[in-house]
Amino acid sequence: MTISFTASRLANHLSCKPYLRSVEALYSYNRRLDCLAKAGRLDDARRLFDELPHRDEVSWNTLISAYASAGLYDDALLLFRSNPQLYSSTVPWSSLISGFSRSGRTVDAFHIFHRMLFVGLRPDPYSLGAYIRACSNLPSLITGEVAHSLAIKSSLNADSFVAAALVAMYSNCGQATAATFVFDSVPMECRSNRVLWTSLIMARAHDGDHLRAMELFRLMRYEGFAPNQFTLPIVLTACAADLALDFGRQIHALATHTGLYTSQFVQSSLVNLYAKCSDLAAAKMVLALAEHDDTVSWNSLIVRCSRAALHDDALSLFSEMHRRCIGMDEFSFPSALNSLAAADDLGNGLALHCLVEKTGFGNRQHVGNALVDMYSKCGQPVVAYKLFDTLPSRNVVGWTALYNGYSRHVSDESALRLYCRMRAIGVHPDEYIISSVLSSCADLTLLELGRQVHAVAILLGLVSFRSASNSLITMYAKSGCAHAACEVFNSMIHRDAITWTAMIVGYAQNGRGRDSLVLFNQMVRSGATPDYVTFIGLLFACSHAGMVDVGRAHFDSMEPLYGVAPGPEHYACMVDLLCRGGRVSEGAALLFSGAGAAMADATVWKSLLAGSRVHRDVHVAEWAAGELLRLDPGDATAYVMLSNVYSAAGRWTDVARVRGVMRARGVTKEPGCSWVEDCGRVHVFHVDDRGHPMAAEIYEKVTEMLEEAEAAGYMVDTRWSLQYAAEEEREWGLAHHSEKLAVAFGLLCGPKEKPIRVYKNLRICGDCHTAIKFVAKVYEREIVLRDSNCFHHFSGGNCSCFDYW
Residue type, 701: K
761 against 171, higher pLDDT: 761
Burial class (CB in 10 A: 0-12, 13-18, 19+), 768: buried
> How far is it, in rounded angstroms, from Cα 458 to Cα 706?
44
497-554 per-position pLDDT tens digit = 999 999 999 999 898 889 999 999 999 999 999 999 999 999 999 988 888 999 999 9
Mean of all residue pLDDT scores within the chain:
83
Average pLDDT over residues 731-754: 84
Confidence of residue 803 (pLDDT cuts 50, 70, 90): low
Question: Which of 4-13, 38-47, 477-486 is predicted least confidently?
Answer: 4-13
Residue 308, number of CB atoms within 10 A of its CB? 14
CB 793 within 8 A of CB 764: no
Sketch the domain layout of the chain as residue ranges.
Answer: 687-799
Comparing C-alpha atoms, which of 491, 479, 483 is closest to residue 453? Answer: 479
287-332 per-position pLDDT tens digit = 888 777 778 888 888 888 888 888 888 898 898 888 888 888 888 8
Average pLDDT over residues 59-70: 71
Task: Render 161-217 in DSSP notation, one character per residue.
Answer: HHHHHHHHHHHHTT-HHHHHHHHHHS-GGGTT-HHHHHHHHHHHHHTT-HHHHHHHH
Greatest mean pLDDT range, 134-138, 591-595, 674-678: 674-678
168-198 per-position pLDDT tens digit = 788 777 787 887 777 777 776 666 667 778 8
11-29 per-position pLDDT tens digit = 444 444 444 445 566 667 6
Average pLDDT over residues 413-428: 93
133-175 per-position pLDDT tens digit = 777 777 667 777 887 887 787 777 777 778 777 877 887 777 8
Average pLDDT over residues 261-267: 84
The pLDDT score that the predictor gives to residue 396 is 93
- The pair phi, psi for residue 232, each rounded to 5°, is -60, -45
Question: Which of 321-330, 348-357, 374-383 is predicted least confidently?
Answer: 321-330
For residue 793, pLDDT over 50 is answered with yes
The pLDDT score that the predictor gives to residue 11 is 46
The pLDDT score that the predictor gives to residue 560 is 92
Read off the pTM.
0.73
Question: DSSP H helical segments within 39-104, as ranges?
Answer: 42-51, 57-69, 73-81, 90-102
CB 305 within 8 A of CB 280: yes
- The pair phi, psi for residue 757, each rounded to 5°, is -110, 115
For residue 672, pLDDT over 90 is answered with no
Average pLDDT over residues 407-428: 93
